């Protein structure tokens, strides 16, 4: 018949306690998948810590997020960065400070090359805040 004790007792089921969880399979991206349509860069200026989950959701959906924390208090900014650091760790992504209170958060299908130097690391720093771009 269709039922077999041997098949029922065999170890054909995946090991749910192994190191490769569901998230691992989702975040291990083949090179041909890295340039799929639909990858976006999202620019966000959260006004409260409660918006951290939305940022994490964008990252989980493999979008790059630039987060400007200049509209939250220093305590909230620290909490947001801590939350995003945990998210980044969980998805094997990356986070890099690119300016005062501005962070680039990437999922693991985006490679970041180069580094923005910290303002206090350079001697010849020019503000250039007066430069504006209008399209």
Task: Write out the chain's pLDDT in tens, 135 residues.
Answer: 555 555 545 555 554 444 444 455 445 555 555 555 447 899 999 999 999 999 999 999 999 999 999 999 999 999 999 999 999 999 999 999 998 899 999 999 888 888 877 766 567 776 666 677 776
Q: What is the pTM of this model?
A: 0.66
CB 67 within 8 A of CB 106: no
Domains and CATH numbers, the chain: 37-112 (3.30.110.150)
pLDDT at 111: 87
CB 99 within 8 A of CB 116: yes
pLDDT at 135: 67
CB 70 within 8 A of CB 53: no
Three-class SS state of 89? helix
pLDDT at 17: 45
Estimate to the nearest angstrom the gap between the alpha carbon of 34 and the chain centroid.
14
pLDDT at 32: 54
Tokens, residue 130: 């007066």
């Amino acid at each position: 018949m269709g039922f077999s004790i041997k098949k029922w007792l065999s170890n054909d089921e995946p090991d749910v306690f192994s190191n490769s969880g569901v998230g691992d399979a989702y975040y291990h991206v083949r090179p041909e998948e890295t340039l799929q349509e639909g990858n976006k860069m999202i620019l966000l200026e959260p006004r409260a810590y409660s918006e951290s989950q939305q940022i994490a959701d964008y990252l989980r959906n493999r979008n790059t997020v630039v987060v400007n924390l200049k509209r939250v208090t220093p305590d909230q900014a620290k909490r947001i960065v801590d939350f995003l650091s945990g998210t980044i760790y969980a998805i094997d992504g990356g986070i890099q400070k690119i300016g005062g209170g501005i962070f680039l958060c990437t999922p693991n299908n985006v490679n970041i090359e180069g580094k923005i130097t910290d303002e206090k690391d350079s001697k010849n720093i020019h503000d250039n805040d007066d430069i504006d771009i209008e399209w």
